[in-house]
Structure 1
Amino acid sequence: MIKAKFYLGKDQKITRFELTGHADYSSGPDIVCAAVSALAINTVNSLDRFTKTPHVVSNSDTGGYLVVDQLGADPQSQLLLLSLQNGLMDIAARDNNQYIEVKIFNN
Structure 2
Amino acid sequence: MVPWRSSTTGVNIALRVTPRGGRDGVDGIEQLADGRSVLKVRVRAIADGGEANRAVLALLAKSLGVPKASVSLLSGATSRLKQIAVEGDPARLAEALRRLAPTESTDLGN
Q: Same fold (TM over 0.5)?
A: no
Greater percentage in helix? 1
Which structure features the higher share of strand residues?
A: 2
TM-score under structure 2 normalisation? 0.39
TM-score (normalised: structure 1)? 0.40
Higher RCO structure, 1 or 2 (CA under 8 Å, sep 6+): 1
